[in-house]
Structure 1
Amino acid sequence: MSKAGEIVKEVIGNVRTVQAFVGEEKAVKLYRDALINTYKYGRKGGLAKGLGLGAMHCVLFFSWALLVWFTGIIVHKEISNGGESFTTMLKVVIAGL
């Protein structure tokens, strides 16, 4: 985006010269090309960030699901009560962070 910003700044700063030499079309083409390049890089970066954040949340929610499932088994078999199991579950999550 900085390249596109530089082009706009230069054209607006020299608007009389650009208009005198009929450079509007060239300026628009340069600006469009700069924006297209920025858009391509933005899409790749957005995809990478989205996949990374999605994978992280996937692991987080699967961990919670596994913890709740296992805690349910422990309470159901009366190895521990619900309060102690829930406290232990939260301790495991906080320690994992």
Structure 2
Amino acid sequence: MALVISRMASNGQNAYAKAATIVEQTIGSIRTVASFTGEKQAVVNYNKSLLDAYKSGIQEGLATGLGFGSVMFITFGTYALAVWFGGKMIVDKGYSGGSVINVIISVLVGSM
């Protein structure tokens, strides 16, 4: 997940750098741009670069959301499995609730 997010962030930074280059070149040579009426073309190029950065940001957010959602699903699914199995052990084997909670907490602390 970290590799995908870092790759997406890098793509977004490259798109923002491209947009900054377009602005820098346009402002640096504003007389030439104005004399050839290239303002509209510069704005179009800048907007295209910003659109690429926006798309990269959307993909980065999607990757982050899916990755974090998967991690949380696994975490809470594990908690649910532990509580279910603990309940089964209480009913079938006669364990006490305190011993089941003790085992769950011990496993959580040990896994940290």
TM-score (norm 2): 0.68
Q: Which has the higher contact order (CA 8 A, sep 6+)?
A: 2
Residue correspondence of structure 1 range 25-40 to structure 2 within 5 A: 25-40=40-55
Give the one of 3, 10, 22 matched to 1:7.
22
Identity within the alignment, %: 37
Determine the structure 2 residue equivalent to 1:95. Answer: 110
CA distance in 2, matches of 1:11, 1:95: 59
The one-letter code of the counterpart of 1:95 is G
Give the one of 46, 68, 74 matched to 1:59.
74
TM-score (norm 1): 0.76
Q: Which 5+ residue runs of structure 1 have no aligned equivalent?
A: none
CA distance in 2, matches of 1:7, 1:94: 53
1:80 correspondence with 2:100: no
Q: Which 5+ residue runs of structure 2 have no aligned equivalent?
A: 1-15
Offset of residue 89 of structure 1: 0.3
